[in-house]
Amino acid sequence: MNHDAIVPTPATREYDCSHMGKNVYQELDTMPRTGVPVIAGIWPVQRRLACGAFLFRQGDKTVGMFFLESGRLSMQRITQDGGRVTMHVVRPGELFAEPALFSERYHCDMFAETDAEVWLYPKKELVASLHENPESLWAFADRLARGLQGMRLRYELKQIRSAPDRVMQLLRLRCDDAGVYSAPGTLKDLAAELGLTHEALYRAISTLEKRGRISRETGQLRILPGTRS
């Protein structure tokens, strides 16, 4: 059985903090591709980061907020005693650093755990456009609210101690009317969302299959009749 058959994924490099350094990225003046949102009429600018490069550092002057198209970024804050606290792991399809629109300085470090492609929404232009266009401001607020709802859902799922129960609850919440969950990424992405290791997710899915609660198909997980409630 192919345990990672939901969606194939390209190989990515493991994060190696030994080459963390200055903010190192390539800025490209390109138009957004399909799936990259245009917010309040503002076209973002693409930035490519190599694994281990910083997008910004805690205390840097804010230049705008961002959208992650590919890769994985880690948001960490340096504490007063010099320690690091992981605040959030940004995954493809997420807006992040929204507080930059209201602050002069970034309040955390943001670095690439893998090679990544991000899009910058310049602060000055975006804030001015949102002020001038109430409809765009309302749409932006709706997007932020949905993002917050998603974060709360992930937090609640992670409070479920049993891995099979955690997986089952996510499927109940995300499946369609036919009881089918079509994963937007790989099993590794799903494991990260659930706060599980890759191996723990495999075991949980295998357990649910053996108990007759789910079946697996290419690109999908299906909740079997009688187990959706």
CA angle 100, 48, 51 (to 5 degrees): 100
Whether residues 51 and 93 fall in one domain: yes
| CA-based nearest residue to 190, from 176, 205, 179 | 205
Q: Is the distance from CB of 76 to CB of 86 less than 8 angstroms?
A: yes
| CA-based nearest residue to 169, from 227, 209, 93 | 227
Q: Give the range of the structural domain holding residue 138, as residue numbers without chain letter.
A: 17-154
The phi-psi region of residue 5 (left if phi > 0; otherwise alpha if psi is between -120 and 50; otherwise beta) is alpha
Residue 136: pLDDT band (50, 70, 90) is confident
List pLDDT tens digits, range 8-20.
233 333 434 444 4
Instruction: Show which of 132, 154, 176 is a domain's final residue.
Output: 154
CATH code, 210: 1.10.10.10
Whether residues 48 and 145 fall in one domain: yes
Q: Return the pLDDT at 100.
A: 93
Instruction: Show which of 128, 154, 180 is a domain's final residue.
Output: 154
Higher per-residue pLDDT: 20 or 226: 226
Residue 208 resides in a domain: yes
* CA dist., res. 223 & res. 77, Å (int): 39
- pTM equals 0.64
List pLDDT tens digits, range 146-203.
777 777 777 787 788 899 999 988 888 888 888 888 877 677 777 877 878 888 888 9
Alpha carbon dihedral 172, 176, 182, 187, in 10-degree steps, equals -10
The owner of tokens 């995300």 is: 174
Q: What is the chain's mean pLDDT, rounded?
A: 80
Instruction: Show which of 154, 171, 204 is a domain's final residue.
Output: 154
Whether residues 138 and 218 fall in one domain: no
Total domain count, the chain:
2
* CA dist., res. 217 & res. 29, Å (int): 41
Whether residues 42 and 148 fall in one domain: yes
Whether residues 164 and 75 fall in one domain: no
Q: Does the structure show a pLDDT above 60 at 71?
A: yes
